Structure 1
Amino acid sequence: MCRVTQHLLLRGERVTTQLSRLGVRPGGVLLVHASMRSVGGNAGGTVDALRRVLGPEGTLAVPAFTPENSDTSRSYLDRVRGLSDEARARVRASMPPFDPATSPAPGMGALAETVRLTPGALRSTHPQTSFAALGPAAAALLSGHRRDCHLGEESPLARLYEADAQVLLLGTGFDRCSAFHLAEYRRSAPPRRRYRCVVLSDGGRCWWEYEDVALDDSDFAALGSDFVRARSDAVSTGRVGTARSHLLSLRAAVDFATGWLDARRPGGR
């Protein structure tokens, strides 16, 4: 065995041990947000370590969001800021329609893309906020993702809540914790807005517009800090690879966030 291969095997074993110590449940359902730049190593090896800890009965899920095909997304608005109307029109004309089988999700990071591209992985069909998953519960978690429901009751987040999933923030902060978005839907009278994106139809490429809850992650870092202080029993923190990481109960996070958002955002109780 060459030294490089031996090093990779030893590193994979170390990451597997760290994940087990952090509390990842064998046979459970795990939603992962990851920064491989913080974790170190390679995404494929980390996915292998996650699957070893989860075991054959466990299911690994990741976000596979695609703001790149929307002209109402933050990424689009940043991209066209300062451009002329003609230049904006060219950008819109070049935006690819969402295809769950092929559309990449570059903003979600290398680990999420590795999961999405793994043979046997499934993906939900929302053209903006799809999820990908590997494991025996993947189909049940991802089916029924309504196209006018980003991250609410008709999305995989609600199915992950029902499955008592864990959330692993692997080298990322609570500002990346998508589970908190489900709490936005569970607020009393959440604000709503219009969204628009490019999709495939029988006639080819077309724009589709719909209304949904106005998603806002600007206060998720503060929400996460308060959650850790209030529910330390539902969060474990430790090092995975070279990164400080958090493992938490998705149910506990959503339940806490629902009350927190209602108390602090305009229009709440």
Structure 2
Amino acid sequence: MGAVTQHPAVGARAGDRVAAQLHQLGVERGGVLLVHASMRSAGGGARAMAHALRQALGPGGTLVVPSFTPENSDTSRSYLDRVRGLDEEGRAALRAAMPPFDRAATPALSMGRLAETVRLAPGAVRSGHPQTSFVAVGEAAAALLARHRPDCHLGEDSPLARLYEADAQVLLLGTGFGACSAFHLAEYRVPSSSRRLYRCVVAQDGGRRWWEYEDIELDDSDFAALGADFEAAAPGPVRRGPVGAAPSRLFRLRAAVDFATGWLVRHRRRSR
């Protein structure tokens, strides 16, 4: 694909220029767009970027972002990093201080400034999973996020499957394929995928309780390699260009999931 003209970092007066960048990259008016973003890479403000994304999508479009919350789980990578070096008393104190997931109020601290800006936007809708929720604004927000089963992180009963059905686009805005959550849907479509137990804190009767459930063993450790192969062999275009100051990629979620399903079958079986 041809290069997209570089524009200044995003600011209050740069929204129109960034919306033009998004259109030139291929973002469809009236479409559904899942965005993984690094505002540090893009530069400027998250509110201005959210506005530019919605401007590019137009009044009939829908903007979707991940609002994951690994901070309320003691089986997450985030928790394991935080307790490294702590004794049992320290780990128990950390677990006791974890607030339960509240769909309306729990921040998505690890998802970045754009995700939090969209979560707090007027009219935003959030799915109900206590660890891997999504937030959307726009015409199709409620329909895309309505059915997120609490024991299905990112599979057929999650918004990712609804995005697949909607033929959504994915924008990696200043991030690499390692952050591409769409690839996780492919993990559910690989026969005999490994399963594991997850545990997190949820609200109950004005208090909190620990909830344990079984789901697919999610693994993003090879997503960068998967993404490189997808970009090289994708049946549809992976368009590249800057958004704000961030090198970005745009592609179809359905093409990514279909490619990833076959790739995971071949590569993970070979390595295990």
Residue-by-residue CA offset, 1:62-101 (whole Å, 9 max, x unaligned)? 0000000000000000000110100100000000100000
Match of 1:255 in 2: 258
Is 1:120 the counterpart of 2:138? The answer is: no
Secondary structure of 1:199 counterpart: strand
- Are the structure 2 counterparts of residues 9 and 195 from structure 1 closer, same or farther at C-alpha, using a change threshold of 3 Å? closer
Would you say the 8 A contact 2:11–2:45 is kept in 1? no
Would you say the 8 A contact 2:62–2:139 is kept in 1? yes
Match of 1:98 in 2: 101
Secondary structure of 2:232 counterpart: helix
Is 1:233 the counterpart of 2:236? The answer is: yes
TM-score by length of 1: 0.95
Counterpart among 41, 44, 59 of residue 38 in structure 1: 41
Secondary structure of 2:269 counterpart: coil
What is the rounded CA distance, in whole Å, between the counterparts of 2:270 and 2:98 in structure 1? 35
Secondary structure of 2:186 counterpart: helix
Is 1:23 the counterpart of 2:15? The answer is: no
- Offset of residue 13 of structure 1: 1.6
Would you say the 8 A contact 2:236–2:251 is kept in 1? no
Match of 1:86 in 2: 89
Is 1:129 the counterpart of 2:123? The answer is: no
Match of 2:224 in 1: 221
- Offset of residue 10 of structure 1: 4.0
- Offset of residue 267 of structure 1: 7.6
Would you say the 8 A contact 1:31–1:60 is kept in 2? yes
C-alpha RMSD of the superposition: 1.5
- Offset of residue 266 of structure 1: 3.0
Structure 2: state its 5+ residue gaps.
Answer: 1-9
Is 1:198 the counterpart of 2:201? The answer is: yes
Farther off after superposition, 197-206 or 53-62: 197-206
Match of 2:5 in 1: none
Amino acid at match of 2:183: F
- Offset of residue 12 of structure 1: 1.4
Alignment of 1:176-187 (within 5 A): 176-187=179-190
- Offset of residue 235 of structure 1: 1.0
What is the rounded CA distance, in whole Å, between the counterparts of 1:116 and 1:234 in structure 2? 30
Amino acid at match of 2:137: L
What is the rounded CA distance, in whole Å, between the counterparts of 2:150 and 2:78 in structure 1? 20
Match of 1:173 in 2: 176
Secondary structure of 1:60 counterpart: strand
Q: Percent identical across equivalent pairs?
A: 70
TM-score by length of 2: 0.94
Secondary structure of 1:233 counterpart: coil
- Offset of residue 202 of structure 1: 2.3
Amino acid at match of 1:139: A
Is 1:73 the counterpart of 2:39? The answer is: no
- Offset of residue 9 of structure 1: 4.9
- Offset of residue 110 of structure 1: 0.2
What is the rounded CA distance, in whole Å, between the counterparts of 1:124 and 1:268 in structure 2? 34
Amino acid at match of 1:43: A
Would you say the 8 A contact 1:99–1:200 is kept in 2? yes
Residue-by-residue CA offset, 1:7-35 (whole Å, 9 max, x unaligned)? 94542121111100000000000000000
What is the rounded CA distance, in whole Å, between the counterparts of 2:216 and 2:37 in structure 1? 25
What is the rounded CA distance, in whole Å, between the counterparts of 2:186 and 2:236 in structure 1? 20
Would you say the 8 A contact 2:236–2:252 is kept in 1? no
What is the rounded CA distance, in whole Å, between the counterparts of 2:206 and 2:49 in structure 1? 41
Would you say the 8 A contact 1:234–1:252 is kept in 2? no
Secondary structure of 2:67 counterpart: strand
